[in-house]
Structure 1
C-alpha cells in the first residue's frame, strides 16, 4: 500500500513537472517567432474554440495613428520606453499595498499585458501576476519596443463583441481606419481599454469624454516619452 501511494506521488510530481516545463517552454519558443509571426492571444483562441464571434485585422504599427500610440503609452504605461518590461517601482508599491490588505491598482505594464494575453489567463491571481514578471522581462529582451507595441495594439480587446486589435475597434466605434484617428477618436478609444465590455467610444459618456481630454493634454505635454514606437524614433503628433 505504501509503495503504491509513493508511486502515485511520484506520478503526480512527474506530471506537474511536465506541465511546468511546457508552461516555460511555450513562451521561450514562441516569443522569438513573434519577431516575424503575428500572434493570436489566449482570449482570441478561447472565443474561436467556443464558437463565439472574433474579429481581428492586423495592422502594421506604421499604419496606426501616432496619436493613438502615444495616448496608449501615456495612459497605460508612461515608462514603457524606459523600463525593461516591468516597472519595478510600481510593482513594489503594488506588493506593499497587497501585504497591507489594500485594494490592488494594477501595476501591469504594456509588456506584462502582452505576456498575459499571449501566454496566461485573465482572472486576477497572485500566481498569474508572479508569472507575468519574468515573461515580460523575457519579451522585452527578445522583442524591440516597437514590435511589442505593435503586438499589443493588435491583440488588445477593443469592443464588446470580440473586436480584437485597433483596426476592429476603430471600425466598430467610428467606422474609420486606425491611421486616420484624430485626437478625439484616438483618446476616446484609449478610454475603453480598461473595460471594452462596458465602455463604448462611439457612444462615449461624459466621464469618458473628460478622461479623453485629460489623456490628450498629457500626450501633448509629454508625447516625446513615447517616441520609441514612432517611425525613426519620432512620433508625428
Structure 2
C-alpha cells in the first residue's frame, strides 16, 4: 500500500489550521474583553439587548452600594463566594440530585458563574453555553478578583422587568439609591434575583416574602462570620 504523498498532506493542512485559528481568535477576544471589563463597565449585555421591556440601568460602584446588598447576595445566592474559585462543587452536586428528583428546579451556579453568563453570554442552558460559562468564570476569577465580580454582578443582574442592577432596582422599588438600602430592602432585592420577571420587592407575598425574610436573617451571619471578607 502506497504512503500518502507530501502534497496530499499539504492539501489537508489548511483544514486543520482553520479550527486552530478560530480557537486562537476566540481566546484572544475573550481575554481582551475580560481585561477591558476589569476597568470599564460593560455597556450592555445580550440579556438586555434581547429584553422586549427595554433597559433601565444605572452603573454604581461597589463603594456607593450599601454593604448589606452584597451580603444579601452572598446570603441568598452564594454563601461560599469568598472561599471558592468560581465553582461550588457541593452546591452543583446537590442541585443535580435535587433536580433529578423533580419539583422546583434549583440552580447550583455561583455568583461568579452568573456574572460570567450575564456579561458575556445568553440566558438558557445547553452544553455549549455551560462550557463557555465555565471558561469565562475561570477568566474573571483570575483577572477581575472577587470585589470586581461582585461589583459587576450587582450592576448587570436583572432586578425587575426591564430593570438591571441594584441601583435601578432600589429606585424602582424604594424610590432611593442603593446606597440607602436598609437590610430588609437589600434582602428583598436579593430574593427577586432568581426570578426577576415573576417577583417584586415591594409588598412581597408567599415564597418571595419568606425567602426575603430568610435572607435578611442571614445577612447578619454573613457579616459576623466574615463571609464577605473578600469585598473589604
Smaller-chain TM-score range?
0.7 to 0.9
How far the C-alpha of 1:94 sits from its partner, in A, is 4.9
Give the match for residue 170 of structure 1: 170
Verify: 1:203 aligned to 2:207, yes or no.
Answer: no
Extract unaligned runs of 5+ from structure 1. Answer: 1-9
Q: Partner of 2:164: helix, strand, or coil?
A: coil
CA contact (8 A) 1:42 1:121 kept: yes
5 Å-filtered alignment, 1:187-198, equals: 187-198=187-198
Q: Give the structure with higher Rg (CA).
A: 2
Give the match for residue 111 of structure 2: 110
CA RMSD of aligned residues (A): 2.6
TM-score under structure 2 normalisation? Answer: 0.82
How far the C-alpha of 1:207 sits from its partner, in A, is 2.6
How far the C-alpha of 1:23 sits from its partner, in A, is 4.3
- Deviation digits for residues 123-147 of structure 1 (CA, Å, limit 9, x no counterpart): 1223322222222111100012111
- Deviation digits for residues 184-233 of structure 1 (CA, Å, limit 9, x no counterpart): 2111111100111010111311432221111121121232201222xxx2
Verify: 1:44 aligned to 2:45, yes or no.
Answer: no
How many residues end up aligned between the 2 structures?
216
Q: Distance in 1 between matches of 2:16 and 2:195?
A: 39
CA contact (8 A) 1:158 1:169 kept: yes
5 Å-filtered alignment, 1:225-236, equals: 225-229=227-231, 233=232
Q: Distance in 2 between matches of 1:18 and 1:30?
A: 18
How far the C-alpha of 1:81 sits from its partner, in A, is 0.5
How far the C-alpha of 1:15 sits from its partner, in A, is 7.3
Give the match for residue 73 of structure 1: 74
For the structure 1 residues 45 and 209, does the alpha-carbon distance in structure 2 shift closer, same or farther, using more than 3 Å as the test?
Answer: same
CA contact (8 A) 1:74 1:226 kept: no
TM-score under structure 1 normalisation? Answer: 0.80
Question: Does 199-208 or 11-20 show the bigger shift?
Answer: 11-20
Q: Distance in 1 between matches of 2:157 and 2:14?
A: 39
Extract unaligned runs of 5+ from structure 2. Answer: 1-12
Q: Distance in 2 between matches of 1:119 and 1:17?
A: 22
5 Å-filtered alignment, 1:1-237, equals: 21-39=24-42, 40-47=44-51, 52-94=53-95, 101-102=100-101, 105-160=106-161, 162-223=162-223, 224-229=226-231, 233=232
For the structure 1 residues 163 and 17, does the alpha-carbon distance in structure 2 shift closer, same or farther, using more than 3 Å as the test?
Answer: farther
CA contact (8 A) 2:112 2:141 kept: yes
For the structure 1 residues 212 and 93, does the alpha-carbon distance in structure 2 shift closer, same or farther, using more than 3 Å as the test?
Answer: closer
CA contact (8 A) 1:61 1:150 kept: yes
